[in-house]
Amino acid sequence: MTTSCGKTVLFSKSGSAVVGLYVSADMGSVASATILERFEKAASQGTQIMQACDINPMNPYTFGVFAVDKLNDLELVRKNVHTWASGYCAAMPLTRPKDAEIKVNIPGGDLFMGSSNGTSVAQSGLSTDLEVRAECKTTKVIKDDDCTKLSVRCGIRGSDFIKFNPGKQNFCDTLKAGQVVCCSSGTLPDNKPEPQSDGTCATHTIGPDDTCYDVGAPFGLDEDDIAGFNKASWGWAGCGRLQLGQVICLSKGNTLMPATHEGIACGPQKPGTKKPSGSFDGWDLAKLNQCPLKSCCSGWGYCGTTTEFCTESPADTKAPGAFKLNTNGCISNCGTDIVNNKSPPKEFKRIGYFQAYNPGRPCMHMDASEIAENFKELTHVHFAFAGITADYDVNIPDDVKKQFDIFDKMDAPFKKILSFGGWAESTDAATFQRYRDVVKPEYRSVFSANIVKFLEKHKSFAGVDIDWEYPGATDQGIPAGDRTDGVYYQRFLTVLRNLLPSSKSLSIALPGSFWYLKPFPVEDMAKVLDYFVFMTYDLHGQWDYGNKFASPGCENGNCLRSHVNRTETRNSLSMITKAGVPAEKVIVGIASYGRSFRMADKSCTGPHCLFTGSYSVSEAEPGQCTDTGGYISNAELDEIWQLAGEGAEGVSAKRWHDTKTHSDIMTYGTQGNGMTDWVAYMSDKTKEERVAWVKTLNFGGTTDWAIDLAGYFEGPSKKDGSSNGGWSDFKADDLTCDSKDWPTSLEKLADNVDSINGNCRSLALMNILIKDLVAAVDEYKDVSKNFNDAFGWYADWVKDSIDDRIEEFLAPGRGKGLKYLDCEWKSNRGSDKGRCDETWPPVAPGGGAGPRVVWYTMRDEKGFYDALLAEAGIEKDWVEWVKQDAQMDPCVCFQNNICSPPGCQHGNNYEMRNNWLKRIKDKSKIKVSNPKEVVDEAIPSTDELITVAIGTFANMRLGNSDADPADIVTSFSMPIFMMQDASKSIKEMKEIGEDMKETHTRNLIINILSIVFAVIPFAGWAASALGGAARIATAALIV
């Protein structure tokens, strides 16, 4: 039958067989007949169903035929026909013949296909996307669709199509690819995805050119829907900032876990992170993997305490993990404010450390008895330092024993605190392990009990301070600390606190840097400690050299920065209070010393100017008393300033207060070379201002390292009338240079160097070198005449030796070039392949190895030719790879025709080398450089060198030279000494005859090289000259 809408539905019975047929309105009878004829042939071979059901919405053609053998199966026929009539495709058998293509001509098919011949392809098993829903039949808009095309695809009139899709007056003008539209009456089905079974939202991974509309349209979602589902998704920055590969939510549910990345330290993208249990969103993910000390986790997933890590910059969506473009953002614990400081402390402590070992310095000594009269503001004095014995008892070292007795027995207006440790004992090879051991479970009670016993004996002490520098540290030049150090330290402090009388205080020292502070569980420690000595000094020092993270904006770390920078101090105070420590328990560090540097440029003193030295070596002047480069006391700095003001010879200084860092800066020098060093420190005025600032922030007080560095005191030697030393005893060196008594040769200078003022020795040496230079140049010119006569045979010798050097370079078992090649070999004993230095044809003892065939293949071409040049002195363009090269085994035959090894005279013992390296056949193409060419090019520069040397000497005498005298002498002495050696070598070379080349060739080449390298340092650095010298040097390896 043909329905009112043009569809054909037919049921037919023949015997017990029943066939059902469905043809859509647009198929046409000719096309239907063609397909039906095809089915008739297929049915005879057992096919039960055939359908043409095209999923392309531009081809709205459906044909279906279904056959059964028994009338009882009529219901199956009816169901399949009903499926086709309803706009669906019937289910196909899981096992069936391969789907076939049937090409049929459909009249008017070009209306849908855009084809001129109206040919449509129907493939069995395809499905249409014209579907029946509970609400309305639907189809999807594809690119370039309009309402006319859609109404034709739906098989309805245009007016009906508009009626079935109400809501927008400009509906036809706003169609977009992927949009679902109605083809019948009813409402659009609710296509919205559902959350996954584990509670995770339905997801979509953004592909190239995806937009929110593209993604949402097939599901009936608009941009607002998608934005709503993702408002708490990690990294959601809005539809306008979709990223390729980004996974977004298309339904309600738990947010997705973002991808992890190696190197991430905090937040949900740290490797190994597991998603939270139960219901969660992106804000819950932000709490994962918090940074140590509750420090900031930047948007990139790195921990820090500065604005680079702590500044929030949320994207317009305000979603977690999403930030404004070109900003770092912050995930958790954001901000750099000082917290936990609402109330002032009950007592504002003024603590000073007393270095009891100070009498061991050359000068600037202080006796414990002098503390009270000179530092009346102090409330506590920490005695530095006690130590730990090998059996975990209290140790008072010999170098502090005398001062300890004085300190212990004297009456004082301040509280006395016994400090253990310090940098030296914490890092010394003999003692560092003791600090790691005493906090372990088996020893913490032992050491704690011994401390309590010691305080019971020395009752004048009001408390204990532990200065372990530092638990968990990994870069102190000793074995790295353990991750458990910090936890064990906290548990040790708990035990000690429980054993100490409540009247005794307990404190520890803390580093001011995030790197060293990380292992300290300070929040838990604060519960058992009375206060922390927070060392907010040494924020910069010589150790910054080479560390690009040490000083912002300084790539190599070696920029002039203040170690007491108040801005950086404030950042440290934010760090410690955010970590959970109340401000009232934090004693802020101030310093009575400076960190000094040797300036790379004496005229450049700003924060981006550089200092010299290395990570572990400071070139700054050591103080007269502190005697340590890079570390100088306030007392010494004040004395230098005073001497410079008085015009002391060789001493100069300039100082100012830097308001940006709230530090005092001084440039100075004491050796007559001008102001060579830069130092940042805190004057007495600056220290008092820092104390007042700390007090306004409600911290617990300040601690000064160290009071004995603040001035020149009388010290323990005052009773015998001796001086305490220092710059008060300074006498400038005699800087005059009188040349009349200077030695005239290097030997005499070496023997009498102490008779010449230190600042004059470079001048005396330069005076000798100029005379030697003139003589050396003259001799060099004279002896190098007729040099070319000795060179010709040398070049031939180099060329003829190349193959022998190759044999050695690739010699089995020892050749330096074998590791760069792969070998495959066959012999009477078997076969193998692999790296040439690892596999080789075996040779039986006594000879008679038989034929061996080896194929060579390059495995590392660059490495091979680099080694060929370095080990054999052979350049790449001197050699070529030949197809085959036979190497006969040695064969010795005697008069009785007996040969060794037996049978070798028949030529059966050989190695056939396939793809073997040989010297190129035309050896005239090998260029062996003549060193005389290098010499000839250098001679004019040699003459000029004399003029330069004399002019430089004159500037040195007049004090007009900016260069280091030692550098000047070195630069001139090298070519002079080489020139003298070259002249001697040329003389020896000219005595070697043609008949002596077999025994003297290698010595000759060494002599030639000495000539070349004598000239190169001052030859004008011509590229051709340097290239020639390099070739001569490598050629020498061949001989």
Joined together, the tokens standing for residue 450 give 């011994």
Q: What does the alpha-carbon distance between residue 945 and residue 387 come to, in Å, rounded to a whole number?
A: 61
pLDDT value of position 89: 76
Neighbouring-strand partners of residue 418: 383, 464
pLDDT digits (tens, 9 = 90+) for 797-846: 778 889 999 999 999 889 999 999 999 999 888 899 999 998 888 775 55
φ and ψ at residue 247, rounded to 5 degrees: -105, 125
Listed in order, the ranges of the chain carrying CATH 3.10.350.10 are 138-182
Query: Residue length, the chain?
Result: 1039
The mean pLDDT value for 27-36 works out to 65
Joined together, the tokens standing for residue 977 give 């000494």
pLDDT value of position 55: 45
Quick check: 598 pLDDT over 70? yes
Quick check: 101 pLDDT over 80? no
Query: Which CATH number is 138-182's, of 3.10.350.10, 3.40.50.300, 3.40.50.150, 3.10.20.30?
Result: 3.10.350.10
Helix (H) or strand (E) holding 705: strand 701-705
pLDDT digits (tens, 9 = 90+) for 320-343: 999 998 899 999 999 999 999 999
Mean pLDDT of the chain: 83
Active site residue 469: yes
Check if CATH label 3.20.20.80 holds for domain 349-709: yes
Please give the full DSSP string across 915-930, using - where no structure is assigned. EEEEE-S-GGG--PPP
Least confident of 262-266, 763-767, 891-895: 891-895
Of these residues, 131, 370, 469, 619, which one is catalytic? 469
| 31 vs 35 pLDDT, higher one | 35
pLDDT digits (tens, 9 = 90+) for 922-948: 988 988 766 556 555 654 566 677 777
pLDDT value of position 220: 83
Helix (H) or strand (E) holding 511: strand 505-511
| 157 vs 981 pLDDT, higher one | 157
pLDDT value of position 219: 86
pLDDT band at residue 1005 using 50, 70 and 90 as cut-offs? low
pLDDT digits (tens, 9 = 90+) for 442-467: 999 999 999 999 999 999 999 999 99
Quick check: 655 pLDDT over 80? yes
Quick check: 603 pLDDT over 90? yes
Least confident of 231-245, 673-687, 691-705, 779-793: 779-793
Q: What does the alpha-carbon distance between residue 907 and residue 909 come to, in Å, rounded to a whole number?
A: 6
Q: What does the alpha-carbon distance between residue 789 and residue 674 come to, in Å, rounded to a whole number?
A: 56
pLDDT value of position 1021: 34
Quick check: 706 pLDDT over 90? yes
pLDDT value of position 1010: 53
* E strand residue ranges, 216-334: 247-249, 296-298, 303-304, 330-332
pLDDT value of position 502: 96
- Letter for the amino acid at 191? N
pLDDT digits (tens, 9 = 90+) for 283-320: 899 999 999 999 999 999 999 999 999 999 999 999 99
466 three-state secondary structure: strand
pLDDT value of position 794: 62
pLDDT digits (tens, 9 = 90+) for 419-445: 999 999 999 999 999 999 999 999 999
Quick check: 578 pLDDT over 80? yes
CB atoms within 10 A of CB 38: 17
φ and ψ at residue 893, rounded to 5 degrees: -115, 140
Q: 586-591 and 531-535 as β-strands: parallel, antiparallel, unpaired?
A: parallel
How far out from the chain centre does Cα 340 lie? 35
Listed in order, the ranges of the chain carrying CATH 3.20.20.80 are 349-709
